[in-house]
Copies of this chain bind each other. A is one copy, B any other.
Amino acid sequence: MKRITREPVKIWMVGSIGIDDIKTRTVERKDLMGGSLPFSTAASSFFAKTGAVGVVGSDFPSAFSRRWQAFGIDLAGVQRVTGSTFRWACEYDKNMIDRTTLKTELGVFAAFMPELPASYKHAPFVLLGNIQPELQLHVLMQAEGAKFVALDTMNLWIEIARPALRKVIRKVNLLTLNDGEARLLTGKWNLVDCADALLKMGPSFVVIKKGEHGALLFSKKSVFIVPAYPVRKLSDPTGAGDSYAGAFMGYLARAGHVTERLLREALVYASVVASFGVEGFSLERFERLTMSEIDKRVRELKRMMTA
């Protein structure tokens, strides 16, 4: 878990930071580090020096910060302000996919205004995680050195902030969303039609995530279909999509440039990293995950994909 911490940030990510209570059929866990940012940055940290942009309240445990920092993540972009950290609670159905949100308390996240530390401004890779599109735009404008920007979003923003969302989408290189969100945003059902419509909105690449069914990468010229790694010991699916996006972008940041070939390889790594993440609660599985475990499972997944 000891990683180099003095190198410059190659990629930064913005997103939510929370304290979660998670209930499954067999386990109930309280006060877990959650939100999109811990998952995305931890997943990215296996590949490249990653900076985090977010906000926590005065109640955010210092133990969480220490554990997060142990991934070698730069936390210069995480503001600590007076008030309560974003809190969220959910209960999973026995299918471990459908969930009921039991609590959402925005706390300091409600007035969050992301600011980019000077040391992140020249980072070439950016992941705009799932926050208000206006804030995604605000922080992106500060990123002078951004060369490849990916955007993640969710139903809520499509419903209540569509014009702002469309504005950010026009400025990014890659858009990632799940199948339901792609349908909501485009008004089309067929995912190939959705991808056509999304590519017309501006990005060169669209990644449609389908959870346990994998993901599809679309460009104007090609399609790549990547399966999810079949997980045997699913503990907690929370954050899987964020880990997926984080590992994907971290892999590209390590490469330092983007080609079709690298995008495909990055998605296979993303699938594998996310599959490890759901084997534990919060960042627990990532905390004892090694690069050789990742490489081994990547080889395994590739064998499963080879006709």
Contact = CB atoms under 8 A, between A and B. Distances in A.
B230 A191 contact: yes
A95 B194 CA distance: 13
Interface in A194-234: 210, 213-214, 216, 222-227, 230-232, 234
Contact of A230 (B189, B192, B230, B264): B192
A96 B306 CA distance: 29
A265 interface: yes
A96 B183 CA distance: 14
Contacts of A304: 222-225
A274 to B, nearest CB: 15
B230 A216 contact: yes
A118 interface: no
A190 interface: yes
A305 B225 contact: yes
A149 B305 CA distance: 25
Given A223-B230, A225-B227, A227-B227, 6 more contacts: A95-B189, A96-B189, A222-B304, A224-B307, A225-B305, A226-B307
Nearest first, the 4 A-B pairs at minimum CB distance are: A213-B213, A225-B227, A264-B307, A268-B307
